[in-house]
Amino acid sequence: MFEGLTFTSPLLWWGALAAGLPFLIHWMLRPRPQKVLFPATFLLQRALAEGQKAQRLRNLWLLLVRALGLIVVAGLLAGPTCRSTADVGTDQRPLAAVLVCDDAWSSAYRATEDQAVLDQLRTAALGVVAEARDWPPGSTLGLIAAGGALEAIPPTAQFERVEDQLQQLRDVRPHARTLRDAVRQAGEWLRSAGQSRRRLILLTDMAGHAVRDVSGDLLDGIRDLEVTVLAGPGVTRTNLAILSAEVPAGLLAETASVPLRVRLRAEGAAARGVLVVRSGDRVLLRSTPLDLPAGQVVEERYTLPRFPRGVHGLQVTLEPTDRLPFDQERYVAFEVGPPPEVWLLEPGVAQARSLTGHLLENLLAPPTLLPEQQLVALRRIPAEDVPEAAAPPALILVPSGVPLSDSARGRLRDLVERGARMVLIAAAGTRIEWPGLRRYFAARVAREELAEPSRLNWDADSGVSGEVRAALDRCVVDVRVGLFELAEGVRVEARYADGAPGVLRRTFGRGSLHLLTTSPDPAWSTLGARALGLLGWLLELAQAGGTDGLQVAQVPVGTLVKPGLARLPEQGTVRVTPPDGGPPVSLRMNNTAAWPTDAPGLLRLQVADGSQRLIALNWPAEESDLAEIDGPGLARVLGVSEVLLRGRDTEGGGSGWSSALARPGGWLAAGLLLLLALELVLSEWRAASSGEKAGAVAGR
């Protein structure tokens, strides 16, 4: 049953000699009666002889049970282990194996106060090296780690090299790499190996984020491939994490406050935490205690004070820290510049501007406010004179009925593809049509008067903030634009009560095209009278648009800094201040490998013209996902029929007594329990029998 049975401490089998102790103690403490002739006991001699004979037989069985118990204890102390038939079968062909180490952040989780999960995985890997010395002659073993913390060793017969490298696997090297590159390299080694048998040994804590981009094609073409997973013992992990911290993309008006959205998650158990937002050494916000339910994503929104013009960075921290603190801080980079530029297209000179156009102008740029108080920089653009802009505006508003030439439509689409947001809005008193633009949404449109007033119900995934959605939901619509035969690629962001589309979006390049199927005109809806919702929606679109030319960027850790990112030049030298606050260094744009992007933080840059750039580096949110993957799931990811999972019970491999008895130590433990139970029964039987005999003798 247990092929390849070995013991971690075979010398402890000498403890089996203790099995003779019960016999020795019985012999030393045996009764030594003196013979005294007493006539009255003559009649009792036969009865006493029969009782002593039966007692000696039962005592002998009791001694044997106790001796066997001591032998079993010695076997348990010797640490029996059993390699599976896949490891020690009769196949004596040489084996080429590669050990792939998953040293992701989750492996740094401390299973106990003194030991991390990575320590347990290293011990399992060293066990593989010990087993490799018993493999058939000509076998080889290679080693590679996802994070590059270990020297990559192609398959070799010098197992001591692999062992020496594994001894150095003590701490997790910060990185955001998955197992994809390591599995690809291991596949290339195995594909070119000369041995007839090949094995991929994956050392992992079973956190699914490490294989999130691994695909089965990495192991294509490898014949006679076996996949073994050393999972180590399972650990119930708890974790506090900031999944994301964001401010609106695009330019922020200097006169506006900064909205901050933070997404949090407590893994494994409910927790309480406090968010702290800092700008340099200045604390901008310390939240009230947040109750985070287990396994749920919680979104929090805050409003930060105004910032002057320029590039700015924030550090968002979640306190207190836990056993896996790497994901409890996030960095945000944003740029404060002039108010976002908004274009309002007007009809030609021969046509009067619609009431909708007047309402939009008064809503976005009230004439009663001074220029420095305006939230947007509004420009009225004649339809026949759409300019060619070097930088796209943030927002373009197109009321219905505005005629556009082919060249004007071409320039508008180019601006959208470069980052502008364009909104088509129904204008009362005009023909409901957007020549050349309507086809992007529907085959035809028509004005519809509703029998009963309706409201817009917004999709929660539309990207519109909760406050703006709440304000828009309070607006009532009496007249709308009906859409027929929606075009492909159109997304409905809001619907009326009867399910008809209310707000639609379509993406083009870096920008997007939107259609609002009603008008702020009081004859159509209350969007103009209750202007907070419409104004908030348009401002959010303006803040998200016109991103061409931003001097800030948000990128994952390990990203190569290339020209164009945050408007960096194609060539030349850039002065770089590392995220850890170290001294600035000068780096050339063509030397991307030297850029310090392997740790989170704010990378501050100064280009030759004296302008500033800011890049926020963060760990990918997927690194905080501790959800485990099972054996069949790993087989699907790796594109193999099955994997041999060692160190942890698989879902179909049994649990409780069944899985415990599948190991040699489990059989010994079960045998010890059985012997203890038998010892108790024999002891009670002995005591009861002795009492009965004594009573019988006394009765005579």
* Residues pairing with 335 in the sheet: 311
pTM: 0.65
Mean pLDDT value of segment 297-321: 92
Q: What is the DSSP letter of 27?
A: H
The Cβ-side half-sphere exposure at 195, using a 13 Å CA radius, reads 25
Q: Beta strands 457-458 and 491-495: pairing type?
A: antiparallel
- C-alpha 173/C-alpha 12 separation (Å) is 39
Low-confidence winner among 29-43, 177-191, 655-669 (lowest mean pLDDT): 655-669
Residues 504-542: b if buried by 16+ CB within 10 A, e if exposed: bbbebeebbbbbbbbbbbeebbbbbebbebbbbbbbbbb
pLDDT at 272: 94
- The CA-to-CA distance between both ends of the chain, in Å, stands at 56
* CA 618 to chain CA mean position, Å: 13
d(CA 669, CA 150): 39
**How far is the C-alpha of 510 from the C-alpha of 330, rounded, in Å?**
25
Main-chain phi, psi angles of 152, to 5 degrees:
-70, 125
Would the pLDDT of 121 be above 90? no
* Angle at 688 (CA atoms; ends 682, 692), nearest 5 degrees: 140
- Confidence check: pLDDT of 650 > 70: no
Tokens in use for 185? 């390299």
CATH topology for 552-618 is Immunoglobulin-like (2.60.40)
**Helix-then-strand count for the chain, H and E:** 13, 32
For residues 602 and 30, the model is more confident at 602
Check residue 107 and report its DSSP letter.
G
The span from the CA of 335 to the CA of 95, in Å, is 58
Q: Is the separation of the CB atoms in 558 and 595 below 8 Å?
A: no
Question: What's the rounded Cα separation, in Å, for the pair 125 and 152?
Answer: 15
Residue 336: its H or E element: strand 329-337
Query: Which residues partner with 225 through β-bridges?
Result: 198
pLDDT, residue 279, reads 93
Question: Please, are residues 341 and 331 in contact by the beta-carbon 8 Å criterion?
Answer: no
Judge whether residue 500 has pLDDT over 60.
yes
Give the pLDDT band (50/70/90) at residue 12: low
* Residue 526 confidence (pLDDT) above 70: yes
Tell me what the mean pLDDT of segment 458-486 comes to: 88
pLDDT at 2 over 60: no
- The Cα–Cα gap between 655 and 661 comes to 10
**Pairing, β 395-399 against β 341-346:** parallel
Least confident window among 86-95, 121-130, 411-420: 86-95
Q: Of 563, 503, 549, give the one whose Cα is nearest residue 527.
A: 503
The packing angle between helices 45-77 and 664-699, to 10°, is 170
Order of strands, sheet of 341-346, starting from the edge strand that comes earlier in the sequence: 377-382, 341-346, 395-399, 421-425, 511-516, 501-508, 491-495, 457-458
Task: Name the helix (H) or strand (E) containing 489.
Answer: none
Picking from 414-423, 442-451, 686-695, which range would have the lowest pLDDT averaged per residue? 686-695
Which superfamily does CATH assign the domain made up of 239-333 to?
Answer: Immunoglobulins (2.60.40.10)
Domain 341-415+424-539, classified CATH 3.40.50.300, yes or no: no
Regarding predicted confidence, which is higher, 608 or 18? 608
Average pLDDT across the chain, whole number: 82
What is the pLDDT at residue 510?
87
For residue 457, what are its two tokens? 């119900």
* Sequence spans of domains, the chain: 5-32+52-81+664-699, 89-235+626-653, 239-333, 341-415+424-539, 552-618
What Cα–Cα distance (Å) separates residue 146 from each residue in 211, 256, 484?
Answer: 11, 44, 53
Same fold, 239-333 and 552-618: yes
Please, are residues 605 and 612 in contact by the beta-carbon 8 Å criterion? Answer: yes
Architecture of domain 89-235+626-653: 3-Layer(aba) Sandwich (3.40)
C-alpha to C-alpha distances, 696 to 31, 42, 462, 700, nearest whole angstrom: 22, 16, 93, 6
pLDDT at 662 over 50: no
Which of 79-88, 291-300, 498-507, 617-626 shows the lowest mean pLDDT across its residues? Answer: 79-88
Give the up-direction half-sphere exposure of residue 180: CA atoms within 13 A in the CB hemisphere.
9
Q: Tokens at residue 319, please?
A: 């306190």
The total of other beta-carbon atoms located within 10 Å of residue 444's CB is: 11
CA gap 649, 659 in Å, rounded: 7
Q: Note whether 394 and 421 are within 8 A (CB).
A: yes
Kindly indicate the confidence band of residue 685, based on its pLDDT and cuts at 50, 70 and 90. Answer: low
For 583-693, strand residue ranges (E) read 585-588, 601-606, 612-618, 644-646
Q: What sign does the dihedral 427-428-429-435 (CA atoms) show?
A: positive
The per-residue pLDDT for 24 is 66
* Residue bearing the bigger pLDDT, 620 or 700: 620
Q: In angstroms, rounded to a whole number, what is the distance separating the alpha carbons of residues 308 and 279?
A: 13
Residues 6+ apart with CB under 8 A from 94: 135, 136, 137, 138, 139, 140, 195, 196, 197
Tokens of 565: 């990112």
The size of the chain, in residues, is 700
At residue 82, does pLDDT exceed 70?
no
Q: How far apart are CA 64 and CA 58, in angstroms?
A: 10
Distance CA 380, CA 443 (A): 29
* pLDDT at residue 84 in the model: 47
How many angstroms separate the CA atoms of 329 and 579, rounded?
Answer: 13
Local confidence band at 143 (pLDDT 50, 70, 90 cut-offs): very high
Q: For residue 225, give both structure tokens.
A: 């491939």
CA 510 to chain centre: 27
Tokens of 504: 């639609």
Taking the CA atoms of 349, 350, 354 and 355 in sequence, report the sign of the dihedral they define. positive
Contacts of 393 (CB under 8 A, 6+ apart): 340, 341, 342, 343, 379, 415, 420, 545, 546
Distance CA 84, CA 5 (A): 9
Q: In the predicted model, what is the mean pLDDT of residues 475-499?
A: 93
State the pLDDT at residue 468: 86
More confident of the two residues 124 and 253: 124
**What is the residue type of 445?**
V
Report CA-CA distances (Å) from 222 to 140, 185, 217.
Answer: 16, 13, 10
